[in-house]
Amino acid sequence: MWMIYTIGFIVSLGLALGLTPLVKRFAHKVGAVDVPNARKVHTRIMPRLGGLAIFMAFMVTFFLVIPFLPIDLTSRELNFIKAFLVGGTITILLGALDDRFDLPAKLKFVVQIATACVVVFGFDIKLEFANIPFHTYASVESWIAIPFTILWIVGVTNAINLIDGLDGLAAGVSAIAIGTIAVMAFLMGNVIVALISLLLLGSIIGFLYFNFHPAKIFMGDSGALFLGFSLALLSLLGFKQVAIVSFLTPLILIGVPLSDTMFAIVRRWMQKKPIFSPDKGHLHHCLRELGFSHRQTVLIIYAIAAFFGILAVIQSSAAMYNANWVTFVVICVMVFFLQIGAEVIGLIGKTKRPLLDFFARLRMKAGAERGSK
């Protein structure tokens, strides 16, 4: 089994390395390019469609290795594979068309909802069990599971797009999240999720060779949407087969784009701006303003994503043994560092630092008491 995993990872990586330059030339030929503007960091026209290289490397490798899988797949596992392949194909086509023609946001949203419905109703893929902290896991009613699953797929599909602002950022964060899923899948004995995760990981790393700063190609919406869709299914639905993953684990896995979105909503609300209005207050913008270089900013966010990945593994392992106290500790650690980090970096605003101000007052009070003695 390990031989299949290893060969699959190497083949997908090699294919991505070979296919990405071809996709780059194809993007230039069909006009799928990204033109600089005031909100973008790059200063020259860049080819998009990089997601096609990731997708093709994954698909070719998957169909090469799946016949050699030394296990009999259950009907549920087959449904999961079909849902992943069909939904992923629809998503990559939508993203590729958007890279070329800049499709209206409403049209993309409708297609994403339709794709999620295909996954849920066509292949019966939905949340079935939830392990709520401080409760035993239990089945979830369909009237809750179906809309939640559709919302989850659409939401996470778009999440990666929110952090796709620097060379190699979205691809690297996705690789870290998918690598974390692979680790959890191995721990849980989920062969299919582990295999798909490793093949995706190889494809992303191969593409990242051309996408890291200074990038030669962007993955575009084709890559961001496909990787978001992949994360949506792998982080939540893939683990329903063992029914022990905590409800919190998939949220932690996408901690970087999720927290960036959350702080953006709070920031715009406090500034009395429309919630969906673009700005330069995202995590990568704030780090650049602090003086970090392009590469340093990306590596810092990689470290943050890895931190979330470690928390996800700890949380998932704790959920397997109903160690609810670990869940509580993970939540407290995550919330504390999120708030401190947001205030230091300036994600909410330059003057909104309630926790840092509180600690500053405590230090001043302690200093005053020492001085009076």
Write the pLDDT tens digit of every residue in 272-317. Answer: 777 666 666 677 778 888 888 889 999 999 998 898 888 888 877 7
In angstroms, rounded to a whole number, what is the distance separating the alpha carbons of residues 340 and 358?
A: 11
Q: Is the pLDDT of residue 243 over 90?
A: no
Question: Where does the pLDDT of residue 145 fall: very low under 50, low under 70, confident under 90, or very high at 90 and above?
Answer: confident
161 annotated as belonging to a binding site for a ligand: yes
131 annotated as belonging to a binding site for a ligand: no
In terms of average pLDDT, the best of 7-16, 76-85, 189-198, 280-289 is 7-16
Nearest partner of 288 among 41, 46, 42, judged by Cα: 41
Task: Please report how the helices 324-345 and 255-270 are oriented relative to each other, as an axis angle in degrees rounded to 10.
Answer: 50
Please check whether residue 91 is in contact with residue 225, taking contact to mean a CB–CB distance below 8 angstroms: yes
Between 271 and 133, residue with greater pLDDT: 271
At 361 the pLDDT is 81
Question: Where does the pLDDT of residue 349 fall: very low under 50, low under 70, confident under 90, or very high at 90 and above?
Answer: low
In angstroms, rounded to a whole number, what is the distance separating the alpha carbons of residues 263 and 348?
A: 6
Domain count, the chain: 1
In angstroms, rounded to a whole number, what is the distance separating the alpha carbons of residues 5 and 201?
A: 11
At 362 the pLDDT is 81
Question: Where does the pLDDT of residue 116 fall: very low under 50, low under 70, confident under 90, or very high at 90 and above?
Answer: very high
Domain hosting 203: range is 2-372
Question: Where does the pLDDT of residue 265 fall: very low under 50, low under 70, confident under 90, or very high at 90 and above?
Answer: confident
Average pLDDT over residues 86-114: 96
Nearest partner of 52 among 209, 216, 230, 203, judged by Cα: 203
Span 212-228, pLDDT tens digits: 988 999 999 999 999 99
Q: Which residues pair with 34 in a beta bridge?
A: 46
User: pTM to 2 decimals?
Assistant: 0.85
The rounded Cα 291 to chain-centroid distance in angstroms is 26
Token reading at 337: 């560092």
At 245 the pLDDT is 45
Question: Where does the pLDDT of residue 129 fall: very low under 50, low under 70, confident under 90, or very high at 90 and above?
Answer: low
Q: Is the pLDDT of residue 230 over 90?
A: yes
At 266 the pLDDT is 75
